[in-house]
Structure 1
């Protein structure tokens, strides 16, 4: 019985320490906003920025690799968070299928720079490393 009590106490201490650990996931990289596409268009117009749209699918391996690498890069995050309205939409759920049809998404990942009127300014297909992504958008940075 003492052994069971000791194990229960240790388990409680270990699990409670995880609850109080700060979430450092948001400290670096691109901060994607929780907005609908229409809300993003309005915000883009108000702030005079382009929308960076990551059109992805949950089953897409290269999409997951972008999330783990390129989108977590500090330099990429600094540039994108300052210059764009960052939006990430699953093209197979919610408003995603309509957006996929409108912008003719044929492969994943597809990334877009879209102006406040909904016009595509730039389309980027497939996995890209941080330097390449920054190079792709450099002409659109203030």
Structure 2
């Protein structure tokens, strides 16, 4: 009788728990991958992917200011900024026309070296940098779409 009870208990657990585990797909829940994927048809800010050296050259040649989103992959406010602010049409319209937009994980790739040049106090840090590499404005934390546009206008 005890064997039958345990067999039934194990079967019940298998029927209720295994479908839940099988439904878990880490690719679908990895928001970092979707955050980094450029969307050419998106309405929001279009970020440039290039080396920092090339971005500085481009800013100088086009006489534009660089907008740098300095973030970390684990940062909650950074993810909210990317999802709820950078994707807005009004923000994209303004920033795409006025700035060279760059987002950089400050803990990977060129990020740590750049963090030595532009020390960070918190994430996200939004930097407005001229073609010579000089910081024109530094803003910390999550911003609303309206505030981000106003900050951008104050830099130009």
Normalised-by-shorter TM-score class: 0.7 to 0.9
TM-score, normalised on structure 1? 0.80
C-alpha root-mean-square deviation of aligned residues, in Å?
A: 1.5
Deviation at 1:125, TM superposition (A): 0.4
Once residues 142 and 48 of structure 2 are traced to their aligned partners in structure 1, the CA distance between those partners, rounded to angstroms, is 21
Q: Is the partner of 2:68 in helix, strand or coil?
A: strand
CA contact (8 A) 2:42 2:87 kept: no
- Secondary structure of 2:103's match? strand
* Aligned residue number for residue 89 of structure 1: 104
Provide Cα deviations, 1:65-97, integer angstroms capped at 9, x if missing partner. Answer: 011110001000000000000001100011101
Residue in structure 1 matched with residue 61 of structure 2 by the alignment: 46
Candidates 116, 122, 129, aligned match of 1:114 = 129
2:83 paired with 1:71: no
Distance in structure 1 (CA, Å) of the matches to 2:86 and 2:80: 9
Deviation at 1:127, TM superposition (A): 0.3
Which entry has the higher C-alpha Rg, 1 or 2? 2
Q: Highest relative contact order (Cα 8 Å, sep 6+), 1 or 2?
A: 1
Identify unmatched segments of 5+ residues in structure 1.
1-22
Across the two proteins, how many residue pairs are aligned to each other? 119
Q: When the two structures are superposed, what TM-score results if normalisation uses the length of structure 2?
A: 0.73
Task: Summarize the Cα distance change of 1:116–1:24 in structure 2 as closer, same or farther, 3 Å threshold.
Answer: closer
Q: Which runs of 4+ in 1 moved over 4 A?
A: none
Deviation for aligned residue 1:25: 6.7
Aligned equivalents of 1:130 and 1:57: distance in 2?
Answer: 20
Q: Residues of 2 paired with 1:137 and 1:91: CA distance?
A: 22
Q: 1:49 to 1:24 in 2, by over 3 A?
A: closer
Distance 1:140 1:102 in 2: 20
